[in-house]
Structure 1
Amino acid sequence: MDNPAPAPICRGMDTDLLIIGGGLNGATLALAAARAGLTSTVIDALPRDTCATPDFDGRSYALANGSVRLLRALGLWEGLADDAQPMNGIRVSDGRVGDASVFLGMDFASAEIEEGPMGHMLEDRFLRRALLDAMDAEPRITPLSKARVTAQDASPRGVTVTLQDGHRLSGLLLIGADGRQSGTATRAGIKRTGWTYRQRALVCAIGHEKPHGGIAHQLFLPSGPLAILPLPGDRSSIVWTEADAQARAIDALSDEDYLTVLRPRFGNFLGDIALAGKRYTYPLGLSLANAFVAPRLALVGDAAHGVHPIAGQGLNAGLRDVAALAHVLDHARRRGEDIASAPVLARYQGWRRFDTATLALATDTFNRLFSNDNALLRAGRDLGMAALNAVPGMRRAFIREAAGLSGDLPDLMRG
């Protein structure tokens, strides 16, 4: 006879955590909570097949060293490492169209820190598949696909959600992992602060003639930043920012015409380029939830904060939310506290809200400072980058920050 599924820590509840959103952050949180002995029901509006495609669709992530530590602690990294590309260095250049190969800024190498590569590039299809398989294998997790939450209610004892089909589920804590347009946050009355940049990101993957050497490039062009991020083999992921109208016009082009526009921005330092996988575009803006918690509720990932992709920290910030919340809940459970009590949730908010506000300010400042061709600003920022590049201690601090190794790290990111 099969062993019964683990029961929630509170009798009378369907589950300990009700996680709204089955994307990368929601799935990772469910696995981290299971490691702490907590049960989760993961409610995702999308069909499971939509999330489990084996084909490469161009989407990839720059996982900081700290995020890799989290995946390793959850037992996932061993199965992902062979498909990941280590980032051995980052080269930051203040450039103009056509000079992507010219170094005019900062150069950072993983060899300057002891922890190994500052990060890895990993395709979405591998990470998403690994998370889905791990959830299926974990008896403390109940995944629900094609399920939409229409109402939620918090009480002193717990929280209840109502699904579109009328079914009701109860738990101790409700987690919003449902993106920038979080219905979970809206139903809780949590407002957001933010603005649009009037820019769009153009995202694709390319193949190229020459090897990239595991070096990531961040090229600042007057129209916006262009990130060239190494993938396994002679391929790279591109995140390319343009003004909104220009980006829409480029996105409407044929593949060949799209490459004709990209080539002069990219330069020829990797030889000729060709598209590999699909193309995407999405609007850019800053969006911060005014609170990360409410009675028996916590927000993680884009539901809590959305920043400019200029530093590739969006998913990393979300995974740091996940690790911090799992840390807080685990320690509260061990002390016999109500894991969804106001003091427990205040620890999570206090830990993450300042860090994410600082990240939002930094990405906003960099985007505004570099997305122009003002001669005075250009001279000042180039002098600043040269100064940072010349001071080993400052450069090392920058590398550790980019690798997700600085600050107060949650248990799952300590290695």
Structure 2
Amino acid sequence: MLDVLVAGGGYVGLSLAVAVKKAAPHLAVEVVDAAPDHAWRKDERAFAIVAAARNLLDVLGIWNEIEPEAEPIRRMVITDSRTADPVRPVFLTFEGAGSGDDGQPFAHMVPNRAITAGLLKQAEALGVSIRWSTSVEGFATGQHSTTVSLSGGTERQTRLLVACDGVRSKLRDMAGIKTVRFDYGQSGIVTTVQHERPHEGTAEEHFLPAGPFATLPLTGNRSSLVWTERTEDARRLVESDDLVFEEELERRFGHKLGALKVVDGRRAFPLGLTLARAFVAPRFALAGDAAHGIHPISGQGLNLGFKDVAALAETIVEADRLGLDIGAVSVLERYETWRRFDTVRMGMTTDVLNRLFSNDMTPLRVLRDVGLGVVDRLPGLKSFFIRQAEGTTGNGHPRMLVGQRI
């Protein structure tokens, strides 16, 4: 019988499996994923990894391996204007130095394939079983274990089933866990561009009436784009020919880094707010996007998933060390309590920011621009926001988020 069965082989599922197995090698951990084993290699997305997530990856033993592909964010610039405005004033600037004494920036941009490759290598070394092209078809929860039906007609017995299968989680629905959902009527266009001049580690978030247009530095003269548009406009842009797409891109990106060239396929993802009403049930837990899906305006979606991993892994391992049943609701409630407030707070924060900045109402534009200007002139307040973004402030954090082993 398995101790932990993880449904979902993305960065959340793999990092949870590695974290549990690394801290408690005697536990039997398995990961199943409906995708084939090569699908992750085609994922060209890149994510902002904040200090807390970097600490977790370091504890898991993979940060040194993926760091050569990580680009430090040395500076963050925030602007607010219309697309046609001749001048784009900078209202707020954050220097990239983190609050710690290690000289590390508060965030790095890291390709998802590098994170996944490092986690897969570590999982194999630790003896984590991974089944690709295998989906969960159903499960039945008993008093001492859960029987999980897999595609192909096989079954697995496990003490704990963890759903890491994304924002449209089928397992969440199977478990009867309801959600709070809101569709923003926006889609995020994701692609990678190459430019003539170096970005010097600068990330920029340009607030436009349709939504934020973020340029995030990658290694070399490349940047990752997260371009928010109304859903119908995003669909039109993604389906347009290269000339139209690059012309619209240049109108938003500008010419500060010289000529642009799209070097990755463009994709659009619908944006909304999804919050699970519960994170746990008997012998069942949600983690990552299965528990929460938020707007990318703050770049915190992936980092929320890593926080889930740190909290759930610590809950499982400490319960096992105490001889407790790792699938009992009384044990799993610690994880839910740990993560629920932070998740709801971040979801509400991104919701308010998106509503405040994704519009063209003059009174609101004046109000938000004045607010950004005030923050820019108060170093103490800017430092507070950086510490919040790093994810290491306050007390009671899971140990891996501050660089400690479980």
How high is the TM-score relative to the length of structure 1? 0.93
1:18 pairs with 2:2: no
The worse-fitting range, judged by mean Cα deviation, of 229-238 and 125-134 is 125-134
The alpha-carbon deviation at position 101 of structure 1 amounts to 7.7
Q: Which whole-Å CA distance do the structure 1 matches of 2:331 and 2:89 have between them?
A: 48
Q: What is the aligned counterpart of 1:121 among 109, 117, 122? A: 109
Q: Which whole-Å CA distance do the structure 2 matches of 1:111 and 1:300 have between them?
A: 30
- Please list, as runs of the form range in 1=range in 2, the aligned pairs for 1:286-301 lying within 5 A after superposition: 286-301=273-288
Q: RMSD of aligned C-alpha atoms?
A: 1.5
Q: Which runs of 5+ in 2 are unaligned?
A: none
1:171 pairs with 2:139: no
State the SS of the aligned residue for 1:377: helix
Q: What is the aligned counterpart of 2:17 among 20, 30, 38? A: 30
Identity of aligned residues (%): 41
Query: Can you list the C-alpha shifts for 1:88-130, whole angstroms capped at 9, x where unaligned?
Result: 1211111221569834321111336235211111112212222
Q: What is the aligned counterpart of 1:49 among 38, 59, 82? A: 38
Query: What is residue 87 of structure 1 aligned with on the other side?
Result: 73
Query: What is residue 182 of structure 2 aligned with on the other side?
Result: 195
Query: What is residue 230 of structure 1 aligned with on the other side?
Result: 217
State the SS of the aligned residue for 2:257: coil
Contact 1:100 1:266 in 2 (8 A): no
The alpha-carbon deviation at position 269 of structure 1 amounts to 1.6
Q: Which whole-Å CA distance do the structure 1 matches of 2:295 and 2:170 have between them?
A: 22
Q: What is the aligned counterpart of 2:28 among 36, 39, 57? A: 39
Q: Which whole-Å CA distance do the structure 1 matches of 2:344 and 2:12 have between them?
A: 19
The alpha-carbon deviation at position 171 of structure 1 amounts to 1.2
The alpha-carbon deviation at position 360 of structure 1 amounts to 0.5
- Please list, as runs of the form range in 1=range in 2, the aligned pairs for 1:234-245 lying within 5 A after superposition: 234-245=221-232
Q: Which runs of 5+ in 1 are unaligned?
A: 1-12
Q: Which whole-Å CA distance do the structure 1 matches of 2:195 and 2:397 have between them?
A: 37
Query: What is residue 3 of structure 1 aligned with on the other side?
Result: none
The alpha-carbon deviation at position 351 of structure 1 amounts to 0.7
Q: What is the aligned counterpart of 2:125 among 137, 145, 149? A: 137
Query: What is residue 9 of structure 1 aligned with on the other side?
Result: none
Contact 1:89 1:118 in 2 (8 A): no
Query: What is residue 356 of structure 1 aligned with on the other side?
Result: 343
Q: Number of paired residues?
A: 398
Query: What is residue 319 of structure 1 aligned with on the other side?
Result: 306
Letter in 2 for 1:81: E
Contact 1:95 1:104 in 2 (8 A): no
Contact 1:100 1:219 in 2 (8 A): no
- Please list, as runs of the form range in 1=range in 2, the aligned pairs for 1:360-371 lying within 5 A after superposition: 360-371=347-358
How high is the TM-score relative to the length of structure 2? 0.95
Query: Can you list the C-alpha shifts for 1:226-270, whole angstroms capped at 9, x where unaligned?
Result: 010000011000000011111111111112220101111111221
State the SS of the aligned residue for 1:236: strand
Letter in 2 for 1:138: L
Query: What is residue 194 of structure 2 aligned with on the other side?
Result: 207
Contact 2:147 2:157 in 1 (8 A): yes
Q: Which whole-Å CA distance do the structure 1 matches of 2:194 and 2:92 have between them?
A: 25
Query: What is residue 148 of structure 1 aligned with on the other side?
Result: 135
Contact 1:85 1:121 in 2 (8 A): yes
